[in-house]
A and B are shown apart, each in its own frame.
Chain A
Amino acid sequence: MTSDRVPTWEEVARDHGQFLYSVAYRLTGNVDDARDLVQEALLRVRRGLATYEPGSLEGWLARIVTNVFLDDMRRKKRRPVQALPDEPDLVVPPAVAADVAADRAGLSTEIQAAIAALPEEFRVPVVLCDVADQSYEDIARILDVPIGTVRSRLHRGRKLLRGELVARGVVTAGGVT
């Protein structure tokens, strides 16, 4: 989406919440982490709207939600051992999105699991390209890497993803099962 007008925060939350959530959910693979990601991203959107220059709003939002995701991944790598949750309800397994529950036996659950199994280095370009519909140039800007790097990571990510899908029986050498 390209617009000459700077949207309000409420407009971003209302009109682009689904976009943010879709990217967040495909990156994280579960509802709770996706919620966290969107909430944190929207806080950054609120802070950043004053300096936002009208252009590709979804590109800007994709950049923010990706940065939040990567920041979180870096923190988890620095501190991989998590303390026990301090709230009893958090021992409950993560909630499952309605479409996932309804489609548990279907392809989308397996495909999402395969995406989540990708190393983030390859998962992020795949999600930005095939879920957020960003161009290679935009992805390069978001990740601050050369376009050639985007090209190779994206292709390798898709090939790894294919391997995951084959392992899950979703596709075979002959096509979708």
Chain B
Amino acid sequence: MSELEHDDVVSAYLDGELTPVERAAFEARLAADADARAELDDVAEVRTLVRGLPLPSMPAGFVDELLATGTADDAAAETGDVAPVLDLGTAQTRRSGRARFAAYAGAAAAAVALVVAVAMPAQTSAKPALATDVRVHQAGAAASGDPVSGLAPLATPLRFGR
């Protein structure tokens, strides 16, 4: 058995990746070879240390941030707008992940806003519905003695977008 093959077998043995025949042969070698046993111990120790590492803590709110961005992306996809695909290759000037994701979410949110602005009735068609609501509310407020609602009709124009 060459040195390289011997090396390979040590880790594969620890990981349970040897065939029964290979395992039996290696165990026979271990019984007779102190160096092989020492190497097995060395590698097993490293393997145990790495496998015993604690889970790294995710930054606070990281999953919520991912979920929120995904929701915005879904909305953008429904509009047919293509949100910019993040490409790490463009990040040699290294914007942070947060900045890149914020840009991504911003683009998605802008697409949603555009759709809302287009899909909502135009201002001229919205006014009659609002005016009707105000009149109905005023009538109800007057009957219930609500002093604020009786001051003046709402006249704030509806604005969607900027």
Please report the total number of B residues contacting A with Cβ < 8 Å. Answer: 44
User: When the two chains form their complex, are residues B63 and A13 in contact, meaning their CB atoms are under 8 A apart?
Assistant: yes
Most chain B beta-carbon neighbours within 10 Å: one of A97, A98, A126, A158: A158
B34-49: CB near A (< 8 Å → 1, else 0) gives 0000000011011101
User: When the two chains form their complex, are residues A46 and B89 in contact, meaning their CB atoms are under 8 A apart?
Assistant: no
Q: B70: which of A9, A31, A98, A159 is its contact (CB, 8 Å)?
A: A9
**A56 interfacial by beta-carbon distance below 8 Å:** no
Cβ of B100: which chain A residues have Cβ within 8 Å of it? Answer: 36, 39
Cα–Cα distance between A132 and B92 once the two chains are bound (Å): 28
Q: Which residue of A lies closest to B85 (CB)?
A: A43
Which one, B10-18, B25-33, B116-124, B135-143, is touching chain A? B10-18
Q: Which residue of B lies closest to A78 (CB)?
A: B89
User: When the two chains form their complex, are residues A14 and B63 in contact, meaning their CB atoms are under 8 A apart?
Assistant: yes
Which one, B51-59, B144-152, B153-161, is touching chain A? B51-59
Cβ of B24: which chain A residues have Cβ within 8 Å of it? Answer: none
User: When the two chains form their complex, are residues B89 and A75 in contact, meaning their CB atoms are under 8 A apart?
Assistant: yes
By secondary structure, the B interface counts as helix
Shortest distance from the beta carbon of B68 to any chain A beta carbon, whole Å = 10
**A115 interfacial by beta-carbon distance below 8 Å:** yes
Given contacts A86-B93, A135-B17, contact A17 B57 (CB under 8 A): no
What total count of A-B pairs have CB within 8 Å?
150
Shortest distance from the beta carbon of A61 to any chain B beta carbon, whole Å = 13
Given contacts A46-B70, A82-B94, contact A71 B88 (CB under 8 A): yes
Cα–Cα distance between A68 and B96 once the two chains are bound (Å): 16
**B131 interfacial by beta-carbon distance below 8 Å:** no
**A64 interfacial by beta-carbon distance below 8 Å:** no
**A62 interfacial by beta-carbon distance below 8 Å:** no
User: When the two chains form their complex, are residues B97 and A97 in contact, meaning their CB atoms are under 8 A apart?
Assistant: no
Cα–Cα distance between A54 and B18 once the two chains are bound (Å): 28
Cβ of B10: which chain A residues have Cβ within 8 Å of it? Answer: 155
Cβ of B85: which chain A residues have Cβ within 8 Å of it? Answer: 43
User: When the two chains form their complex, are residues A18 and B55 in contact, meaning their CB atoms are under 8 A apart?
Assistant: yes
Top 6 nearest A-B pairs (CB, nearest first) are: A155-B11, A36-B97, A35-B97, A130-B50, A98-B57, A25-B56
Apart from A39-B66, A151-B11, A151-B12, list 16 A-B contacts with CB within 8 A: A13-B67, A25-B56, A34-B56, A35-B62, A35-B98, A36-B88, A42-B70, A75-B88, A99-B54, A103-B54, A130-B47, A155-B7, A158-B43, A159-B42, A176-B45, A176-B49
List residues of chain A with CB under 8 Å of any chain B CB: 9-10, 13-14, 17-18, 21-22, 25-26, 31-32, 34-36, 38-40, 42-43, 46, 68, 71-72, 75, 79, 82-87, 89-90, 95, 97-100, 103, 107-108, 111-112, 115, 126, 129-131, 135-136, 148, 151-152, 154-156, 158-159, 161-162, 165, 170-171, 175-176
